[in-house]
Amino acid sequence: MEEFRRAYARLCAAPQEPVLLRLRERGAAPGRGRLDLAAQSLSLETCGALGRLLPGAAPFAEVALGDCGLSEEGGRGPRVTLLLHGLCSNTTVKLLDLKKYEYNLILEWNSLGMWEQGFSSFCQGLGANNFLQRLDLRNNQINHQGAGELAMALKQNASLQELDLRWNNIGLLGGRALLNCLHSNKTLKRLELAGNNVPSDILKAVEQAMNHNQDRQTILSESQNRADILSKEVLSLKDEKTKQFLDLMDTIEKQREEIARSDRMSAARVSQLQEALDEQHSIMNSLKARLQMTEAALALSEQKVYNLGELLNAVRQEQTGMAECHFKELQQQKQEGADREAKLFRDLSVAEEKNLLLRNQVDELEKKCKIQQDQLFQVKQDLTNTTAELKLRAMQAEERLETEKRRFKQSLEDMESLRVKEVSHLTQHMEASEHSMQERIQKLEAIRIALEEELSQTKAAALTERGQAEEELIKVRNWARLEEQQRLEHLEEKLRLMTESRDEAQNCCLKQKQMVAEAQAKANQLSLHADGLRRRLEELQQDLNSKEEEKVTEVNKVKVELKEQIGHLQAERTAQDGLREKIAALERQLKAISSSHREAMLDKEGEISVLLEKLRMKEADISRMREEEARRASFLQNAIMAYVQGSPLGTHSSRK
């Protein structure tokens, strides 16, 4: 084997490694080895080298060349030809394995019929073979017994198409045996029986059977081709259906992705709108804070006015104190005392009149306060009623919203698989919601502008009130200054008169001592009476001041409470308007969503019905095609049976 391998390596310019590896393997004994080259793609050069080395005594008795690509054409013909040239003169190879290539077997001039046992085993192998298509047994001295063995083998064989038995000794019995086997063998197309002493009628019957087999083979091949075509069409239809189904699933998935994307976009837009609303709320809160600051500034200005009024009262008290001092100094003067007494009486009458007027005003203010308190109480009751109604409506709206949400969730869970045209409806709904939100933003902008205008108006009112307060303060100061100047001038005049009267009094002091004593007594009485009147006047003034302060404080409190109530009512009204708008928007949204879901459900049901109708039509077409194919097959079978029964071979067999 080593020498054979070396010779192969010398003959090949590019020896194949798998062949060298197989040649290195040694057999059991010299001359009994096995050259196994199965499943090796042998090149043309390798086949030529092996064809040169095989003649004579080779170092192996078995050669396996199955599945080696020997049927392919080379530069000098098929590779198997090169190998067979070497095997023709080989003396040691006893077994040749040509698996997958044993289609034609030529055994002419071998006298196989002389060895009955060997020929019977050959026939048994032929019956078990499923690959051989052409068998040549010319001039092999086959008698009628061998023909019977061949007939038994042909009954079992299903691949042999041509059998050449010319120039043998088959005779009448062998011809009949072969003719009888043709009833069960439907693959044999050619049977040559010339030179075998077979009667002509048997030869004609064999020829008819061969023609019948050929026709049968052509019909079967045509039916097989049609069946293959139909199966291919059915497979193509199935592929188209699967492709359509996959395309439908892809479109559904894409639509689901688009719906999810649109949901995400809508959620993002809703969050943006919510952020805008939060910003508007923050702006409203800042405006409210500014309004509170302006109210605080207004309260501070009112406090300043009150402080200025207190200062004015203090100045007045100081002036009254100074007047009292001057009054004490001028008690000695009778005329002035009488004038002062008359003046005091007049002032007292005027003060009493003023007190009556003030009491009337206080009564009117108390009545107004009571009316305002009643109105405030009624407003509070209305506010509580409206808040209760609003809470009830809000609860009902929330309950309706919860029920609608549950219905909406249920409808979403039920209709998730049927949302095909929801994208367009959702886009329209989003556009409508965007339009409504824009309108709402515009309304909020209008409300903000109105609030800014109100704030500017309140600022302007505060500024005007502040200017009026400052003007009143300036007027009061000017009036106080003028009054003080007038009093000073009057006091200076009085001092001058006093100095003159003092001079006169000094001149007539002695004369009027008695009159002075009497006048002093009267003056003391008058001073006591004047002190009582002064104290009563001061008490009345204090009561009047306290009532005025209480009135101012109550009026301020009522104003503040009314402002707070008005602000709360406006806030609650805006909240009610916002809630109503939200409820209306939610109801519109729910109506739109329900209508879109109904439309999507109807569209989906229509598409499903169309698809089911198409599927039913396809299944009906397939079943109709199958029935037609079955009818064709039964028709072909009946035709074949009728043909077989109507043929001379069939009549001959029936006669027998």
Tens of pLDDT along 10-20?
Answer: 888 888 888 88
Average pLDDT over residues 303-323: 75
Secondary structure of residue 355 in the 3-state scheme:
helix
Q: Are 174 and 197 in contact (CB under 8 A)?
A: no
pLDDT at position 153 is 92
Q: How buried is 65 (Cβ within 10 angstroms: 0-12 exposed, 13-18 middle, 19+ buried)?
A: buried
* Residue 187 binned pLDDT confidence (cut-offs 50, 70, 90): confident
Residue 78 or 39, more confident? 39
pLDDT at position 650 is 47
- Where b means 16+ CB within 10 Å and e means fewer, 122-153 reads bbeebbebeebeebbbbbbbbbbbbbbbbbbb
Tell me how far CA of residue 146 lies from CA of 155, 173, 197, 547, in angstroms. Answer: 14, 11, 15, 154
Q: How buried is 397 (Cβ within 10 angstroms: 0-12 exposed, 13-18 middle, 19+ buried)?
A: middle
Average pLDDT over residues 121-135: 85
pLDDT at position 316 is 72
- Who's near 140: CB < 8 A, 6+ residues apart? 107, 108, 109, 110, 111, 112, 113, 168
Pair of tokens at residue 480: 């106080």
Helix H or strand E encompassing 2: helix 2-11
Secondary structure of residue 56 in the 3-state scheme:
strand
Question: Tokens 């998730």 sit at which residue?
Answer: 416
Q: Are 185 and 155 in contact (CB under 8 A)?
A: yes
% of the chain at pLDDT higher than 70: 79
Pair of tokens at residue 149: 């063995």
Tell me which residue of 218, 206, 189 sits closest to 639, measured CA to CA.
218
Pair of tokens at residue 468: 């009026």
pLDDT at position 361 is 72
Average pLDDT over residues 30-58: 77
- Rounded distance between C-alpha atoms, residue 480 and residue 322, angstroms: 14
What is the C-alpha R_g of the chain? 67
- Annotate 446-481 with DSSP letters as a single string: HHHHHHHHHHHHHHHHHHHHHHHHHHHHHHHHHHHH
Most confident of 127-136, 280-289, 348-357, 364-373: 127-136
- Euclidean distance between the first and the last CA atom of the chain, given in angstroms as a whole number: 63
- Annotate 185-206 with DSSP letters as a single string: --S--EEE-TTS---HHHHHHH
% of the chain at pLDDT higher than 90: 5
Average pLDDT over residues 536-551: 74
Q: How buried is 181 (Cβ within 10 angstroms: 0-12 exposed, 13-18 middle, 19+ buried)?
A: buried
Q: Are 200 and 227 in contact (CB under 8 A)?
A: no
Between CA 117 and CA 122, with CA 119 as vertex, the angle to 5 degrees is 115
Tell me how far CA of residue 289 lies from CA of 298, 303, 546, 578, in angstroms. Answer: 14, 20, 33, 21
Q: Max alpha carbon distance in the chain (Å)?
A: 212
- Rounded distance between C-alpha atoms, residue 528 and residue 521, angstroms: 11
Q: Are 143 and 113 in contact (CB under 8 A)?
A: yes
Question: Tokens 């204090």 sit at which residue?
Answer: 542
- Rounded distance between C-alpha atoms, residue 176 and residue 157, angstroms: 18
pLDDT at position 99 is 62
- Rounded distance between C-alpha atoms, residue 126 and residue 135, angstroms: 10
Sheet strand arrangement including 33-36: 33-36, 60-64, 95-97
Torsion angles phi and psi, residue 16, rounded to 5? -85, 135
- Rounded distance between C-alpha atoms, residue 136 and residue 437, angstroms: 97
Q: Is 152's pLDDT higher than 90?
A: yes
Q: Read off the pLDDT of residues 441-479 as tens digits, 9 standing for 90 and up.
A: 777 777 777 777 776 777 677 677 777 767 777 777 777
Pair of tokens at residue 373: 């308190």
- Who's near 654: CB < 8 A, 6+ residues apart? 645
pLDDT at position 439 is 77
Mean pLDDT of the chain: 76
- How would you classify residue 142: left for phi > 0, otherwise alpha for psi between -120 and 50, otherwise beta? beta
pLDDT at position 28 is 41
CA 42 to chain centre: 62
Tell me how far CA of residue 373 lies from CA of 359, 377, 387, in angstroms. Answer: 20, 6, 20
Average pLDDT over residues 335-363: 71
Pair of tokens at residue 342: 């008359």
Question: Tokens 């009093």 sit at which residue?
Answer: 487
pLDDT at position 397 is 66
Residue 80 or 195, more confident? 195
Task: Give 314's Cβ-side CA count (13 Å radius).
Answer: 6
Q: What is the DSSP letter of 30?
A: T
Pair of tokens at residue 137: 């047994």
- Rounded distance between C-alpha atoms, residue 37 and residue 23, angstroms: 9
Pair of tokens at residue 395: 């609860």
Residue 580 or 373, more confident? 580
- Rounded distance between C-alpha atoms, residue 637 and residue 646, angstroms: 14
Q: Are 162 and 189 in contact (CB under 8 A)?
A: yes
